[in-house]
């Protein structure tokens, strides 16, 4: 859908009854190489210190010997429709935005870790102490970037919402324009990650969901994750 037309429609729907955008991600397990580029790109872009991981890729072995294969599964915050963390957070620091992105306000978090306990996807990291990769050296980058993350609070993936917010002001389309897309998606060397508006029937993510079989993790819990996985295609 044309970005201009969409923003016009959103303006007319500001009565709060309709939320047009719902950002989500699709991960194609056939294409994921398990290279962890998304993990590293995320850490670099957001300046995350040791032990703070927003995106991780886990490995799973499937089948029985000799017919065995290895699967790589990128995991992160699922930006659920019914996020348990938002309900559990006693301070209201964890919030769900109208566009479906779940964020943490670091200035409000008191570090009780209940959100991390209730999250079925282990998507959150607690920052217990200030740690550095290069503690001996005078590293200006670490000085500046690590200070943004408050010790004693929680951290998690926020779909790089600052990129999305900045870019949509400039009429860019998240998921289509690299500047308006999460850093993990644009850095994925296997093109296994897709980001976009799940409510837009013409977006790449919607079309992929229509064309391909997909599933979400732990759907039985009723959390309604916004991250879909495309299963690995069978080898012929």
Partner 1 sequence: MIKTLREGFVFQRDWTGKGERGLRDQMLMPAIFFGAISPGLYITALLTDFIPGLWVSVVLNIAGYGLAHIMYLGRMERFWRGLLNLRHSWISRGLLFNIIFTISSTGFVVLRSMGTVADSDQYMPVIKWISFISSLLFLAYPGFMLSFVKAIPFWHSAVEPLLFFIQGVLGGTAVQLLMGSLFRIDPSVSAGLLKINYLLVITVLLIILSALIIKSLHGEAERASVMYLLGIYRGEGRLFLYGALIGGLVIPLLLLSLFIFYGGHTAVVTATLYTALILELTGIYFAKYGFIRAGAYPSDTIPKREGV
Where does this chain bind partner 1 (CB under 8 A)? Answer: 29, 56, 58-62, 71, 73, 75, 84, 86-93, 108-114, 116-122, 126-129, 150-154, 213, 215, 217-218, 221-222, 229, 231-232, 234
| Distance in Å, CB of 99 to partner 1, minimum | 21
**Least distance CB 132 / partner 1 (angstroms):** 13
d(CA 27, CA 231): 9
Q: Supply the minimum distance, in Å, between the C-beta of residue 82 and partner 1.
A: 10
- Select 173 or 194, whichever has its Cβ closest to partner 1: 194
- Cα angle vertex 63, ends 61, 64, to 5°? 110
Kindly report whether the peptide bond that precedes residue 66 is cis, defined as omega within 30 degrees of 0.
Answer: yes
Question: How far apart, in whole angstroms, are the C-alpha atoms of residue 85 and residue 89?
Answer: 6
94/168 with CB nearer partner 1: 94
Q: Vertex 79, ends 51 and 60: CA angle to 5°?
A: 60
Nearest Cα to Cα of residue 99 among 196, 190, 22: 22
Give the shortest CB-119-to-partner 1 separation in angstroms: 7
Q: Which is nearer to partner 1, 47 or 111 (CB)?
A: 111
Q: How far is the CB of 209 from partner 1 (least distance, A)?
A: 14
CB closer to partner 1 out of 44 and 58: 58
Nearest to partner 1 of 1, 86 (CB atom): 86
Alpha-helix runs per DSSP H in 51-195: 84-88, 114-118, 140-146, 161-169, 183-187
For the sheet with 23-28, list strands across it.
193-197, 23-28, 227-230
From residue 108, give the alpha-carbon distance in Å to each of 104, 124, 152, 153.
Answer: 8, 16, 11, 9
**Which C-beta is closer to partner 1: that of 13 or that of 58?**
58
Which ranges constitute the DSSP H helices of the chain?
Answer: 3-12, 37-46, 84-88, 114-118, 140-146, 161-169, 183-187, 204-211
């Amino acid at each position: 859908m044309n970005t201009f037309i969409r923003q016009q429609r959103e303006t007319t729907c500001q009565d709060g009854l309709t939320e047009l955008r719902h950002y989500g991600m699709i991960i194609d397990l056939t294409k994921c190489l398990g290279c962890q580029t998304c993990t590293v790109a995320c850490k670099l872009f957001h300046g995350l210190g040791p032990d703070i991981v927003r995106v991780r890729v886990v490995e799973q072995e499937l089948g029985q010997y000799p017919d065995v294969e290895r699967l790589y599964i990128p995991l992160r915050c699922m930006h659920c429709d019914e996020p348990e963390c938002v309900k559990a957070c006693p301070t209201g620091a964890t919030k769900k935005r109208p566009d479906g992105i779940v964020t943490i306000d670091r200035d409000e978090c008191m570090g009780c870790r209940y959100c991390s306990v209730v999250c079925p996807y282990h998507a959150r990291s607690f920052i217990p102490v200030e740690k550095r990769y290069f503690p001996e050296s005078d590293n200006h980058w670490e000085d500046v970037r690590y200070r943004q993350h408050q010790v004693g609070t929680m951290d998690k993936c926020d779909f790089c919402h600052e990129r999305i917010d900045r870019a949509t002001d400039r009429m860019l389309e998240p998921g289509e324009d690299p500047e308006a897309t999460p850093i993990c998606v644009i850095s994925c060397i296997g093109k296994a990650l897709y980001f976009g508006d799940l409510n837009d029937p013409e977006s790449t993510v919607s079309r992929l969901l229509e064309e391909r079989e997909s599933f979400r993790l732990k759907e039985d819990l009723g959390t309604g994750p916004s991250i879909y996985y495309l299963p690995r295609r069978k080898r012929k």
